[in-house]
Copies of this chain bind each other. A is one copy, B any other.
Amino acid sequence: MILNRRFVLVSRPQGVPREADFHLVEKPVPNIGENEFLIRNHFVSIDPFMREWLKRDTYLPAIAIGDALRANTVGRVEASKHPRFQVGDWVQGLSKIEDYSIGGQGNIYGLVDVTRVSSPSAYLSVAGATGLSAWFAVEEELQPRAGQTLLVSGAAGAVGSIVGQLARMRGARIVGIAGGPKKCEQLTDRYGYHAAIDYCGKDVVALSAAIAEACPDGVDLVFENVGGICLDATLLNINKNALVVVCGLISEYNSEPYGTRQLMQILLKSAVIRGYLLISYAAKLGEGRRAIIDLVADGKIVYDEHVEHGIENVLPAFMRLFDGTNEGKLMLQLI
């Protein structure tokens, strides 16, 4: 009998999540029925927005107490009574943090072609929700063009690092905000940013001044992943008719919201703040994935993965997103 370890929510975290909020539960792997298949999960995506899933209903229901955490996973079919999925196939889907999952019960898993990428894990990073979030943000939401300045916060993060490269190809000036000199060096030397701003040790006034210096023509487009003083400092630098696309507000996930004080800038500049969720582009995901995989194959995009190991390490891995110690798209390898 094979045991399935599942990473289960036992109490809703208040503030920073603690070990006591979760429990690793072992249960036998159930037998598969007709039109079902058994997946051995190899890679689990660890993403900032999971913190919101732990907190409340979002575009998906909150994780229920007693349920395993939701995550994008890449795995391999180990048994199948489903006509479309064969043993040995690699699949990707919005699944749970557990060793084994059952597919074909209304869960949506897709077959992925691992011959086109250097590792199946790419379907959680550049060819997964991360790369696709960057793709549709740049190609559909922001559409940066020559003469415009795009400011990206969380620029060295999994999505931001790809946004910089995609946006640069379109001819805009790309400026990134990140934490610490090492990440800032990556922005300009690896991820295609024209300029980098280190937010560490800066208050909103100092950060605003740094943005003004790095964006001498002001800011036309914003890709916001952080919120807090980062967004306020950004709003103080926007141009008329600016567009602020909000992809995340990571600075506010573990605490009470900071309170955005510079909303007046939206009025003064006839600007727009737009919330951006990848699921809005559900119908076009295949098209985006093909485009991104082609860019990687042609050497036009680089990407980094930060792989932690072992299902018992979900929480310390997750916390890296908030202390900024991940270096590339964060994921957990289970096998």
CB-contacts of A248-284 with B (<8 A): 248-249, 252, 256-277, 280
The answer to whether A264 touches B252 (Cβ under 8 A) is yes
A246 at interface by CB-CB < 8 Å: yes
Q: Is the CB of A272 within 8 A of B272?
A: yes
User: Are B270 and A276 closer than 8 Å at their CB atoms?
Assistant: yes
A237 to chain B, nearest CB (A): 14
Other than the known A58-B268, A231-B263, what 12 A-B pairs have Cβ atoms closer than 8 Å? A52-B264, A246-B266, A248-B267, A249-B267, A257-B263, A257-B264, A260-B263, A263-B273, A266-B275, A267-B275, A270-B276, A272-B273
Is A227 an interface residue when CB atoms closer than 8 A count as contact? yes
B271 x A272 contact (CB < 8 A): no
Chain B residues within 8 Å of A256, by CB: 261
* A264→B249 contact, CB < 8 A: yes
Q: Is the interface of A mostly helix, strand, loop or mixed?
A: loop
Question: What number of A residues sit within 8 Å (CB to CB) of B?
Answer: 33
Expressed in whole angstroms, the minimum distance between the Cβ of A321 and any Cβ of chain B is: 16
Q: Is the CB of B269 within 8 A of A275?
A: yes
Identical copies of this chain, number: 2
Chain B, residue nearest A277 (CB):
B270
Tell me the bound Cα distance from A268 to B275 in angstroms: 7
Q: From A269, which residue of chain B is reached at the shortest CB distance?
A: B275
Cα of A164 to Cα of B276 in the assembled complex, Å:
30
Which of B231, B265, B267, B280 sits near A270, CB closer than 8 Å?
B280
Q: In the complex, what residues of B have CB within 8 A of residue A58's CB?
A: 268
CB pair A274–B266 under 8 Å, yes or no, is yes
Give the one of A259, A266, A267, A268 with max B CB within 10 A. A267
**Residue in chain B with minimal CB distance to A56:** B268
The answer to whether A257 and B268 have CB atoms under 8 Å apart is no
Q: With A261-B256, A261-B259 given, is the CB distance from A266 to B270 under 8 Å?
A: no
Residue from B257, B263, B265, B274 within 8 A of A272 (CB atoms): B274
Cα–Cα, bound, A274→B248 (Å)? 18
27 contacts between A and B (CB under 8 A): A52-B264, A52-B268, A59-B270, A227-B263, A247-B267, A249-B264, A249-B267, A257-B261, A257-B262, A257-B263, A257-B264, A258-B261, A259-B259, A259-B261, A260-B260, A260-B263, A263-B273, A265-B275, A267-B276, A268-B275, A269-B275, A270-B274, A270-B275, A270-B277, A270-B280, A272-B272, A272-B273
Q: In the complex, what's the smallest C-beta–C-beta distance from A255 to chain B, in angstroms?
A: 11
Min CB–CB distance A69 → chain B (angstroms): 19
* Bound form: Cα–Cα A286–B273 in Å: 30
A271 and B275 contact, CB distance less than 8 A: yes
A306 to B160, CA, bound (A): 52
The interface residues of chain B lying within 8 Å CB-to-CB of A257 are: 261-264
Interface centre among A246, A271, A275 (most CB of B within 10 A): A275
A236 to B: closest C-beta gap in Å: 11
